[in-house]
Each structure stands twice: as C-alpha cells, then as structure tokens.
Amino acid sequence: MTFWRNKTVLVAGGAGFIGRHLVRAILEAGSKVYVLDDFSTGQEGPLKTLDQTNLTVLTGDISQPTTLPQVDIIYNLASPASPVHYQSDPIRTWKTNILGTLQLFDHAQACNATLVQASTSEVYGDPLSHPQKETDWGHVNPVGPRACYDESKRAAETLLMDAVRTLGADIRIARIFNTYGPGMTVSDGRAIPNFVAQAKSGKALTIHGDGTQTRSFCHVSDTIDGLLRLGEVAAARGEIFNIGNPVENTIFEIAQEIVTLFGDGNDIVFEGRPIDDPQRRRPDIKKAESVLGWAPKVSLRAGLLSLLDLEEPVLRDIL
C-alpha cells in the first residue's frame, strides 16, 4: 500500500455507499482526500466520524461548474446507483454522468491526474452473452426507464476511451457489478438491504417477478480493493475492468439465504417485475485477475453476516 501514502485524491460521490468505504480506505492508507458530493443520495454524518486531519468535504454538483482542488487521482463515483434513485430524476442522472464526467475529465487533464471512473455492469444491459466480458458490447434499451443510467454511463465510457485514444489520457474504468455491504440505505430499494430489513422486521420479502433472475453480489470490501488496485497498477491505464464477484445466484436464493441468516421463517411474496430488469448478470473477471491481481475474497454468507458486524458501527448504524 506504499502507493497510497501522501497522495492527494478527489473522490466525487465520496458521501455515498461505496464512496465512504473508499474514502476511509484511502485516508487509512495515508493520503489526503477531498470529497465532492451534492448529498442527493449520500450522507455527510458518517464522514464526520472519520479522522478529519486529511479530509476535506466540498458540497457541489459535478454537472455544474465547480472550482476543484489540484489532485493526483480522481475517483468519479458521483451518480445515483439504485434504480429507484436514478429513475426519480432521469434528466439529472443523465447530466450527472455526462456533463459531470466531462467536467471531472477536464479537471483531471488540467491537473495531469489519473481518473478512475465508476462505470457499471448496467452497460451490458440485459446481456446476450454470459458471463459478461469487457469486450462485450451490451444489449441496452436506449429509450427505456433504465436508459438514463445505462446509456449515460455508456456515453461517459465513450468520452473517456476517446480521450485515451486521442490524448493518451490516464483513465481507468471499473465496470462495477452489484455491490453490497455495511452502509447501504434501505430507502434506495436495492435487493439486499430491502431483504435484510424485511427479514429483521418480520415482514415478507418482496421478490420482483419469479425470482429466477440472477445477480452476482460483491462485498464492498472486495470492490474497494479492486478500485484501489485500478488507481495504483500502471498497466490499468487506458483499460476497462469488470469489478464483481463471479458467484451468481438467483434472487430467490438470495432471499432464502437472508431469511435463514436474519429472519424467522418470513414469507416470500412475488410482485411485478420492473421494466427492462436484466435477467442475468455475472462478470468474467479474468482481466482483473491477470492485470490487477484482484479477485473477490468474501463469500456471500460471510458478506451478509458483515451487515451485523459490530466492528463497523460507523457504517452499520445507517443500514
């Protein structure tokens, strides 16, 4: 981790779920962090519990002109990630991912900084290939309700890879697959926090559709390890990596496991399926394994149990 000593890092979206874990890891490794966040889905409270010596929190919208600090590395995590959030104001989502990424890219160029972009498995849409490889083009409905997110993340990738080709810009792209762990908010509607909250409170677990759709859930500690390696490893420059856990489960299996761990024989009910909800998702991580030396370590069961981990009170209290 010597790479992460004495760097200056801007984390856009650093008040969000993944962002707070990343900020904490970078601070603990000995670097200085600026967070830029508009707090649309993020929370400032947990950041205040971190060591403030090397942390500066700036309030701002990445899609609006903003004066930014001189830094060595920029992580762009600023974007709503949950379907409930990104669909609640789709035009804002689009502006965040396109205008916001453009502004951070311009700033990275001005500072001669590395830009690590948080992209998403959603660029694969409802995939025709399985598991998904970085070379796959995706299968996305460009005008559906998920498109504000999928297509704006794809457009951001287009911008950044054009910059790699034409300017030799130092850009690294993480296509993050479903990530879970302490600090997720129940109100964002994602499957794992919803199911855990339902199981713990004795309610029925709400499955969308018949539960045969699959996802590959990665514990946030593994995602953070992958993101740090992406910023650090020289061979990652100009490259795109799937960052996700290749162990695939149906949503029904996930619900059953959560009832076993947190519940008490809760019912499982089947509701309507959201439009364009992808049927399956599993990352091919060979590229991340060979270039970054990265693979997830946390099993689903251990990861789900981390949602009760008393050693993380800072992040746990907002689950």
Place of tokens 């453009």: 102
Does residue 214 bind ligand NAD (CB under 6 A)? Answer: no
Q: Which is nearer to ligand UDP, 265 or 272 (CB)?
A: 272
DSSP character string of 40-64: SS--SHHHHTS--TTEEEEE--TTS
Q: Which does 172 bind (CB under 5 to 8 A by kind): ligand NAD, ligand UDP, none?
A: none
DSSP class of residue 203? P
Does residue 62 bind ligand NAD (CB under 6 A)? Answer: yes
Does residue 190 bind ligand UDP (CB under 6 A)? Answer: yes
Does residue 232 bind ligand NAD (CB under 6 A)? Answer: no
Non-local (6+) Cβ contacts of 230 within 8 A are: 116, 172, 174, 236, 241, 243, 292
Site for ligand NAD in 158-177 (CB under 6 A): 176
Closest CA to 29 of 237, 227, 168: 227
87, 101, 114, 120: residue in contact with ligand NAD (rule CB under 6 A): 120
Closest CA to 152 of 128, 129, 122: 122
The beta strands (E) that lie in the chain are given as 8-12, 32-37, 55-59, 73-76, 114-120, 171-176, 179-180, 205-208, 214-215, 218-219, 240-243, 249-250, 268-271
Does residue 148 bind ligand NAD (CB under 6 A)? Answer: no
Q: How far is the CB of 215 from ligand NAD (least distance, A)?
A: 9
Does residue 43 bind ligand UDP (CB under 6 A)? Answer: no
User: Judged by CB under 6 A, which stretch of 28-36, 44-52, 190-198, 306-314 contacts ligand UDP?
Assistant: 190-198
Q: How far is the CB of 264 from ligand NAD (least distance, A)?
A: 28
Does residue 178 bind ligand NAD (CB under 6 A)? Answer: yes
DSSP character string of 67-115: -----SEEEE--S--SHHHHHHSHHHHHHIIIIIHHHHHHHHHHHT-EE
Does residue 241 bind ligand NAD (CB under 6 A)? Answer: no
Q: Which is nearer to ligand UDP, 27 or 207 (CB)?
A: 207
Does residue 200 bind ligand UDP (CB under 6 A)? Answer: no
Site for ligand NAD in 247-286 (CB under 6 A): none
* CA dist., res. 72 & res. 53, Å (int): 18
Q: Which is nearer to ligand UDP, 108 or 156 (CB)?
A: 156
Torsion angles phi and psi, residue 120, rounded to 5? -150, 155
Does residue 296 bind ligand NAD (CB under 6 A)? Answer: no
Beta strand 205-208 with 179-180 is unpaired
Does residue 208 bind ligand UDP (CB under 6 A)? Answer: yes
Torsion angles phi and psi, residue 305, rounded to 5? -65, -25
75 is catalytic: no
Beta strand 249-250 with 214-215 is antiparallel
Query: In 10 A of CB 52, how many CB atoms?
Result: 11
Number of residues located near ligand UDP, criterion CB under 6 A: 15
Q: Are 114 and 108 in contact (CB under 8 A)?
A: yes
Does residue 16 bind ligand NAD (CB under 6 A)? Answer: yes
Tokens read off for 98: 């396109």
Does residue 85 bind ligand UDP (CB under 6 A)? Answer: no
Place of tokens 């080709």: 165
Site for ligand UDP in 234-253 (CB under 6 A): 251
What residues make contact with ligand NAD under the rule CB under 6 A?
12-13, 15-19, 37-42, 61-63, 77-81, 85, 96, 100, 118, 120, 176, 178-179
Which residues are the active-site residues? 149
What residues make contact with ligand UDP under the rule CB under 6 A?
82-83, 178, 189-191, 194, 206-208, 213, 215, 251, 274, 277
